[in-house]
A and B are shown apart, each in its own frame.
Chain A
Amino acid sequence: MVLSKLFKRGSQEDAERIEKSLEKTRRGVFGHIAALFQQQELDDEFWEDLEALLIQADIGVQTTEELIDRLRARVQKEGVKRAADAYALLKEEMLRLLGEAPPSALETPRLLTVVLVVGVNGSGKTTSIAKLAYYLKQRGKKVLLAAADTFRAAAIDQLRLWGERIGVEVIAHQPGSDPGAVVYDAIRAAQESRKADVLIIDTAGRLHTKYNLMKELQKIRTICARQVHRAPHETYLVLDATTGQNALIQAKKFKEAVDITGVILTKLDGTAKGGIVFAIQKELGVPVRFIGTGEQVTDFAEFDPQAFVEALFRQDT
């Protein structure tokens, strides 16, 4: 099984599940790409089909054009005749776009690591937090969760239920209370009574266009920074893979407001491709850190660009 090796971690079972959900993705658009490269000559139709397929993967017009231009140039320069060789080059170019991610702050030893999780409504923040907490717990960390979404109906209950399921404590106040106060208390609890290694903060979904709500996030950041040296150490933007071009604007705005350090790409078990992450990495330098591939707590894996591109292109349709 290629993927169990490619996705650096996780049990065999995890790897199989991820493999299964990515299977659909490969069969979809990227599967087509593979097929395309097998049969065709490098004629106009080929380039057009390639464009169609990349755009339909939500990679975006601009990034698609750049990819194709670069591929054309290389095909020309390196005298590539066969589609299969062009395909190898395309993979290289796509990988290059994803780049090398800097080391994750989760790896750095420190007394308390604070992870802030943000994103638009319904992208999968709360679920991803449960998954991440479980993932860290499996690696021997003591994790604490802060229920700083005090706005959405039953958001606190949702996080509490996840906490119970995975055996991780949740610090929460009443619905409608000040999210900043929850964060303040949670950090104190993490430092003092609970002695946690990692605190993960769940925040309410918010559209990046809402000025006041973005301000509120900045306030939460400030509270973190005041209590813990250099906190939050990671700020993850949770992005639904189904999202189209607006994801790039989202990433930009969240980066401006709270300096996101990574993306968690969710719902990759569907047929959407999440191709916008190429543009996000390219334009903002924000790497994808984790992927979500289902609604269970184990449907989660570290994002490995190599594995991602390889898996998407594997010609097993």
Chain B
Amino acid sequence: MFEALSDRLQRVFDKISQRGVLTEADVDAALREVRLALLEADVNYKVVKSFIKRVRERAIGQEARKGLTPAQQVIKIVHEELIRTLGEPGRLDLSGPPPHVIMLVGLQGSGKTTTAGKLALRLRKEGQRPLLIAADTYRPAAVKQLEVLGRQIQIPVHSEGTEPPPPDIAVRGVQEARKKGYTVAIIDTAGRLHIDDQMMAELEAIRDRTQPKEILLVVDAMTGQDAVRVADEFNKRVGLTGLILTKVDGDARGGAAISVREVTGVPIKFLGVGEKLDALEPFHPDRLASRILGMGDILTLIEKAEQELDRKKAEEAERRLLEGTFTLEDFLEQLQEMKKLGPLSQLLEMIPGMNRLARQLPAEVTDKQLKRIEAIIFSMTPEERRNPRIINSSRKRRIARGSGTTVQEVNQLLRQFRQMQQLMKQLRKGRLPGNLFGGLF
């Protein structure tokens, strides 16, 4: 249902672009679709309204830029404005004397406790000495949950059970950090409703008595229209310094990020992209903007794909992919085409027709992993690429040596490539499995 969005926009502006001059009516037709896209992405109604107004003002009467049809230009403005609203990624402020106190707040179940563990792990990698503080005395086994997470990553947890008041626990936790030379103290607080006056007052008490450098609102990417009210209330009561958007590994468009940014004005600092403790990523406004619009990186598509990517070749590849006659050679060719286009995260999305598959990509795709795949395929003979079945163990050893990888990695690639072909066959039968590119990257 949402999948059709990019096509829908494409259609609107195909229609417009055939006409050349961009009239007010054209802009409005395009913006109607944009408005729908944003609302379906859970951007708050009022936020959408002011956003569309801004875009409209910028779009109408603007001089046509070279190489872009007027309609493409509207989309470009939408994209830019979205990126601007999302703002620059924020960094954690760890200035001043340690221990730096970080406090996590948010609604029930948004991901605070997990994110506390993720932050601790990340900060330790950056050379800090983190201490976790278990200040949720309400939810059954919340303290234990943080302790278990702490043990998993070998980071100490200050906990006092569930009897003492949370502000007392927080204060003593920070004292312990100071005494024992920890450089960061991360306070996990209980989930609470923004309208729960008593619980919000408790957060104020924790804040006043521990003087956090960072107060981060943890927001579920699936949040709907209410995000504005939640963020506004938390910001008014405790004064936020940043946002962390969680569960971005799902397929929610994450429009709440726009809403929350707009009402609080504080920067988005990280994205949570999985349940594991290393699943915390920096935030890239351009990627999130594309995701919210639900259209791959349509602008990059417009600007680059048209010129650089051989559409026919890509379509041919996709057809063969679906028929199961897609070879490793095709795959390599695709990778190289895609690399011309820039950021790898968007690579598949930019191949016409491939964006459906790209949605299945895990968020953790990195350049490094791709380079290894490429190196392995490079080390194969053309015959091997076309017909991977002939790759016996001595060939595998040669390929591994040639690519600076291991036989296991070669095996893995071959196995996953076979799985991909299988999955493609299923796809053709109309069954799209959840994570197509699962272990490939």
B110 near A270 with CB under 8 A, answer: no
B145 in complex: contacting residue of A57, A153, A271, CB < 8 Å? A153
A55 near B45 with CB under 8 A, answer: yes
Answer yes or no: A214 CB below 8 A from chain B CBs: yes
Cα–Cα distance between A221 and B295 once the two chains are bound (Å)? 36
B39 near A247 with CB under 8 A, answer: no
Contacts of B222 in A (CB 8 A): 120, 240, 243-244, 246-247
28 contacts between A and B (CB under 8 A): A55-B39, A56-B45, A121-B109, A121-B111, A124-B109, A153-B145, A153-B146, A153-B149, A154-B141, A155-B141, A207-B247, A208-B251, A208-B434, A212-B434, A240-B109, A242-B223, A242-B230, A243-B223, A245-B253, A246-B42, A246-B251, A246-B252, A267-B108, A270-B193, A270-B226, A272-B224, A272-B226, A295-B139
**Interface hits, A72-111 → B, CB 8 Å:** none
A153 near B140 with CB under 8 A, answer: no
B224 in complex: contacting residue of A160, A242, A249, CB < 8 Å? A242
Contacts of B186 in A (CB 8 A): none
In the complex, how many residues of chain A place their beta carbon closer than 8 angstroms to a beta carbon of chain B?
A: 49
A162 near B140 with CB under 8 A, answer: yes
Contacts of B433 in A (CB 8 A): 211
Answer yes or no: A287 CB below 8 A from chain B CBs: no
Beyond A158-B141, A211-B433, A212-B434, 8 extra complex contacts between A and B, CB < 8 Å: A121-B247, A154-B148, A155-B141, A240-B109, A242-B230, A244-B252, A271-B194, A271-B230
Answer yes or no: B347 CB below 8 A from chain A CBs: no
**Interface hits, A19-33 → B, CB 8 Å:** 24
A244 in complex: contacting residue of B1, B113, B140, B224, CB < 8 Å? B224
- Chain B residues proximal to chain A, CB less than 8 Å: 1-2, 36, 39-42, 44-46, 107-111, 113, 138-142, 144-149, 152, 193-195, 220, 222-226, 229-230, 247, 249-253, 255-256, 275, 433-435, 438
Contacts of A208 in B (CB 8 A): 250-251, 434
Cα–Cα distance between A52 and B42 once the two chains are bound (Å)? 13
Q: 4 closest pairs, A vs B, by CB? A: A244-B224, A211-B434, A122-B109, A244-B42
B247 near A154 with CB under 8 A, answer: no
Answer yes or no: A202 CB below 8 A from chain B CBs: no
Residue from A52, A60, A155, A207 with most neighbouring chain B CB atoms (10 Å): A207
- Chain A residues proximal to chain B, CB less than 8 Å: 24, 52, 55-58, 60-61, 120-124, 151-155, 157-158, 160-162, 165, 175, 207-212, 214, 240, 242-249, 267, 269-273, 276, 295
Contacts of A247 in B (CB 8 A): 222, 224
Contacts of B145 in A (CB 8 A): 152-155, 157-158
B225 near A210 with CB under 8 A, answer: no
A122 near B195 with CB under 8 A, answer: no
Residue from B41, B226, B435 with most neighbouring chain A CB atoms (10 Å): B226
**B433 → A minimal CB distance (Å):** 5
Cα–Cα distance between A158 and B146 once the two chains are bound (Å)? 12
Contacts of A207 in B (CB 8 A): 247, 249-251
B435 near A244 with CB under 8 A, answer: no
Contacts of A165 in B (CB 8 A): 140
Residue from B46, B223, B250 with most neighbouring chain A CB atoms (10 Å): B250
Contacts of B146 in A (CB 8 A): 153
Contacts of B36 in A (CB 8 A): 61
Cα–Cα distance between A210 and B435 once the two chains are bound (Å)? 6
**B153 → A minimal CB distance (Å):** 11
**B254 → A minimal CB distance (Å):** 9
A52 in complex: contacting residue of B45, B142, B256, CB < 8 Å? B45
Contacts of A57 in B (CB 8 A): 225
Contacts of B111 in A (CB 8 A): 121-122
A153 near B152 with CB under 8 A, answer: yes
B193 in complex: contacting residue of A162, A175, A269, CB < 8 Å? A269
Q: What is the chain B residue whose CB lies nearest that of A125?
A: B109
Cα–Cα distance between A270 and B107 once the two chains are bound (Å)? 9
Contacts of B149 in A (CB 8 A): 153
Cα–Cα distance between A249 and B222 once the two chains are bound (Å)? 11
Contacts A120-B222, A271-B229; A61 near B139 (Cβ below 8 A):
no
B42 near A245 with CB under 8 A, answer: yes
A120 in complex: contacting residue of B113, B142, B250, CB < 8 Å? B250
Contacts of B194 in A (CB 8 A): 270-271
**A246 → B minimal CB distance (Å):** 4
Residue from A122, A157, A211 with most neighbouring chain B CB atoms (10 Å): A122
Cα–Cα distance between A161 and B438 once the two chains are bound (Å)? 36
**A42 → B minimal CB distance (Å):** 21
B434 near A242 with CB under 8 A, answer: no
A209 near B251 with CB under 8 A, answer: yes
B275 in complex: contacting residue of A52, A55, A152, A158, CB < 8 Å? A152
Residue from B41, B224, B252 with most neighbouring chain A CB atoms (10 Å): B224
